[in-house]
Amino acid sequence: MKWVYLVVAVTGEVIATSALKSSAGFTKLGPSAIVVAGYGVAFYFLSLTLDVIPVGISYALWSGIGIVFISLIGWILFGQRLDLPAMVGIGLIVAGVAVINLLSESSSH
């Protein structure tokens, strides 16, 4: 279940961060409510992973995967194009997540 909790945490964070732009500085009620609910879900489920997965590994995976998805959403929904250095950096984040999951003994596979 630890990985399901982490997926739910990432999903909540991605939804909340995506709605953050639409909240217009928390002046629009609907998107603002999505932000608050999404981050609440994200942090709650992230906390559940910490019983099994070390905090550094959990946070690295949560934030790294979130960055990749937020970048894709920014590109698709908001037309925010990434330049080559940004794409290389995101590729390095993906590589880091892969190394943690595949090779690290700190990650409870």
- Please state, in angstroms and rounded to a whole number, the distance separating the CA atoms of residues 33 and 54: 30
- Of 3-17, 35-49, 51-65, 71-85, the least confident: 51-65
Report if residue 50 sits inside a domain: yes
Residue 56 has pLDDT above 90, yes or no: no
pLDDT band, very low/low/confident/very high, at 81 (cuts 50, 70, 90):
very high
54 or 109, which is more confident: 54
- Please state, in angstroms and rounded to a whole number, the distance separating the CA atoms of residues 102 and 98: 6
Report if residue 98 sits inside a domain: yes
Instruction: Please give the pLDDT value at position 100.
Output: 84
pLDDT band, very low/low/confident/very high, at 54 (cuts 50, 70, 90):
confident
pLDDT band, very low/low/confident/very high, at 108 (cuts 50, 70, 90):
low
- C-alpha 108, offset from chain centre: 19
Report if residue 91 sits inside a domain: yes
Domain span holding position 80? 2-103
Report if residue 75 sits inside a domain: yes
| Prediction pTM value | 0.85
Report if residue 88 sits inside a domain: yes
Q: Provide the 3-class DSSP secondary structure of residue 99.
A: helix
Report if residue 54 sits inside a domain: yes
Report if residue 109 sits inside a domain: no
**What's the structural domain count of the chain?**
1
